[in-house]
Amino acid sequence: MFALSGKSALITGAAQGIGKTTAEKMSELGCRIAVADICREKTEAVVRGIRQSGGEAVGVFMDVTSNESIDFAVKEAANAFGGIDIVVNSAGILGTSSIEDMQRDGEWNRVLDIDLSGTFFVCQYALQYLKKSAAGRIINIASVTGRNGGFEGSMSYAAAKGGVIAITRGMARHLAKYRITVNAVCPATTKTEMLEGYTQERIDNQVKNILLGRLGKTEEIAAAVCYLASDEAAFVTGAMLDVNGGAYFG
Ligand SMILES: NC(=O)c1ccc[n+]([C@@H]2O[C@H](COP(=O)([O-])OP(=O)(O)OC[C@H]3O[C@@H](n4cnc5c(N)ncnc54)[C@H](O)[C@@H]3O)[C@@H](O)[C@H]2O)c1
């Protein structure tokens, strides 16, 4: 596998699910990890787990809907490790409303605020540190939904993830002059706590759209992130890495 030794990463949404597994896998590859999440208790548990396995980690409280919170957390992470080389944006929530039931001041704004605006502003605040890195990396966890509009999911989520894909490409273009690469991983439905918002029937319907006939595993998404964070991916930018079991070909 790829080596990440000597590098420091800030991973949002790292208290559980894809972010947590990514934090653990990147730590195994030698990376120092700032576990950033709104859930303090689970954040501390992830930090403890990484330290017990011999890795280096700090927990930073971050609410990605607040620029004040992002600013504070990014500075805390950078101070802990003397900089930030890699940002992974995994913080996100699911939308479940139908087109008919969508509430502008409810799910619509909330999903866009966390999944899209949160991703953008974490990048903005981390940029000063990424510019100083010899190999700055931004890796956004988008979704197959951002690629194809979703099979039966909510339009708030499709809009947010489509937006994440757009800003990933745009930032790749704007930040190449600083040798910062910006890529996204686009998973299909992956077994995490996030699916607790879905009924079993809905999960079964999702699996029907996945050629390989099963849900994704967090380890499979984390492996793609580790690749994009590695020196081996130095020439990859503006890419959408589909890890979707054949749910969408692009
Ligand atoms: N699980 C899937 O099927 C799937 C598929 C495609 C893409 N994704 C994307 O992958 C990412 C991770 O998803 P997951 O399945 O691991 O979800 P998850 O619910 O298991 O984890 C999401 C994490 O984000 C954190 N979070 C939520 N709101 C936050 C906020 N305001 N500020 C900071 N942290 C916040 C949560 O506390 C949690 O730890 C998300 O962006 C999601 O959209 C997931």
Residue range of the domain that includes 126: 8-242
On whether residue 65 sits in a domain, the answer given is yes
Query: Which three-class secondary structure state does DSSP give residue 205?
Result: helix
On whether residue 1 sits in a domain, the answer given is no
Cα 10 to middle of ligand 1, angstroms = 15
pTM, two decimals, is: 0.98
CATH code (residue 146)? 3.40.50.720
- pLDDT reported for residue 19: 98
Query: Which three-class secondary structure state does DSSP give residue 37?
Result: strand
On whether residue 178 sits in a domain, the answer given is yes
% of the chain at pLDDT higher than 90: 94
On whether residue 248 sits in a domain, the answer given is no
Domain count, the chain: 1
On whether residue 166 sits in a domain, the answer given is yes
**In which residue are the tokens 């800030």 written?**
10
On whether residue 224 sits in a domain, the answer given is yes
Nearest partner of 236 among 190, 187, 168, 188, judged by Cα: 168
Q: Is the pLDDT of residue 157 over 90?
A: yes
pLDDT tens per residue across span 56-111: 999 999 999 999 999 999 999 999 999 999 999 999 999 999 999 999 999 999 99
| Count of alpha carbons within 13 angstroms of residue 49, beta-carbon side | 17
On whether residue 134 sits in a domain, the answer given is yes
On whether residue 184 sits in a domain, the answer given is yes
Nearest partner of 32 among 18, 41, 14, judged by Cα: 14
Q: State in Å, rounded, how far the first CA of the chain is from the last one.
A: 27
Query: Which residues, at least 6 apart from 128, have a Cβ–Cβ distance to it below 8 Å?
Result: none
Nearest partner of 17 among 197, 214, 162, 179, judged by Cα: 197
For ligand 1, atom 8, the nearest C-alpha belongs to 143
Q: Any alpha helices (H) in the chain, and if so which ranges?
A: 17-28, 40-52, 67-81, 109-111, 118-130, 144-148, 155-175, 200-208, 218-229
Mutate to test the pocket of ligand 1, among 69, 90, 96, 242 (most ligand atoms within 8 A of CB): 90
Confidence of residue 243 (pLDDT cuts 50, 70, 90): very high
Please state the rounded mean pLDDT for residues 239-247: 98
For ligand 1, atom 20, the nearest C-alpha belongs to 17
Question: What is the overall mean pLDDT for the chain?
Answer: 97
Confidence of residue 163 (pLDDT cuts 50, 70, 90): very high
Confidence of residue 1 (pLDDT cuts 50, 70, 90): low
pLDDT tens per residue across span 2-17: 899 999 999 999 999 9
pLDDT tens per residue across span 184-206: 999 999 999 999 878 899 899 99
Active site residues: 157
Cα 131 to middle of ligand 1, angstroms = 26
